[in-house]
Amino acid sequence: MINPKDWTDAELERITRRFTLELCQKNFIGPGVDVPAPDVGTGPREMGWIADTYRNFYPQDVNGAACVTGKALSLGGVRGRTEATGLGVYYGIREFLGYPEVQKQMKHHGKIQDTTVIVQGFGNVGYWASKFFESNGAKIIGIVEHDVAAYNPDGLNVEQLSLWRKEHGTFRGFPDAQIIDEPMTVLEAECDVLIPAALERQIGLRNAHRIRAKLIGEAANGPVTPGADEVLRTNGKVIIPDLLLNAGGVCVSYFEWAKNLSHLRFGRMNKRWDERSKEQLLALVEGNAGRELSEVERRQLIHGAEEHELVYSGLEDTMIVACNETRQTALEKNIDYRTAAMANSINKIAASLAGSGSIFTHA
């Protein structure tokens, strides 16, 4: 592992392309082999380098764009991939807040409106999760970074804070928040929802007993240690596990992969047909009602889905189904959500293996 801040852009490109070349030579990458995606320290630029290297190594592969996801739109990416993980975090927590047993355990009204949220990490996942919660009425009262934290009990303006950090490189000096020099104290502050969206092992035995959030949504990979998980659950906290909650990025990566294999943008084949069908239906309604709609009303009603709207819809449905499956298993077996999510995953693999059998084994 390397720190991209220690290398120039040219060096990073050489490293990425050489790594991809090694994967190609060993047949460790490909649309039907293994499909990488961005993570900490990488993004569309690096994914573009990977895709270009693969295409040069396999120029005959007509599906070469599907060798990697998280690409820029111009290289075959899909609209909605950038914000997908943060959006999935929002959908997942929203669903759990709607469950009566979770509301009872949290002593919470179950609505996003006025729910207090603290986010650790202000990278891609933390930023977008904060944006979606804020835009739906939640109060982002704290954002924790590695050096300092920004705190405002009345709610932070996420976009203004983001612009300030881009300009100054830090939260320090931001006028509409209290800047805390000991960021971990904000992680332990009172709130309805805590979203660790940084690195692993941020909540351990050293601080689990000080966590005052009612619900912890694991947006990062492994932010809660096994020991801390037990302490938190003993203290009555609701924990939504990482393998469920942060799956939005992988889910939309699958959509991008499917788009690359089909060689068609989502919505391309049906958008105009849907709009014309709605226009005909609207004409009938207007005729019966004796009133014509305004142009703005008409456009809103006949609007056909764009690619990002279809991606959002597919991600929302996926998260709703997965959260409900996890909930049902937890209720039926009287187990925690992490164990339930893992059990569901194992059962799906087992069912697939049992259904397909094995060419190398005999009864």
Q: What is the pLDDT of residue 361?
A: 65
Pair 228, 44: CB distance under 8 Å: no
Query: What angle separates helix 124-135 from helix 84-97, to the nearest 10 degrees?
Result: 50
Better pLDDT: 284 or 215: 215
**280: amino acid identity, one letter:** Q
- pLDDT tens for each residue of 180-213: 999 999 999 999 999 999 989 999 999 999 999 9
Percent of residues, the chain, with pLDDT higher than 70:
99
pTM, to two decimals? 0.91
Beta strands in 233-354 (DSSP E): 238-240
- Residues 133-163 as b/e (b if ≥16 CB within 10 A, e otherwise) read bbeeebbbbbbbbeebbbbbeebbebeebbe
Beta bridge partners of 316: none
Q: Would you say 207 and 235 are in contact if contact means Cβ atoms under 8 Å apart?
A: no
Structure confidence by residue, pLDDT tens digits, 296-336: 888 888 888 899 999 999 999 999 999 999 999 999 999 99
Distance CA(226)–CA(140), nearest Å, equals 27
C-alpha span between 229 and 206 (Å, rounded)? 12
Please, are residues 85 and 125 in contact by the beta-carbon 8 Å criterion? yes
**What are 21-69's pLDDT values in tens digits?**
999 999 999 999 999 999 888 999 999 999 999 999 999 999 999 999 9
Rounded to 5°, angle at Cα 120 from 107 and 221: 95
HSE-up (13 A, CA, CB side) for residue 20: 25
Please give the pLDDT value at position 297. Answer: 84
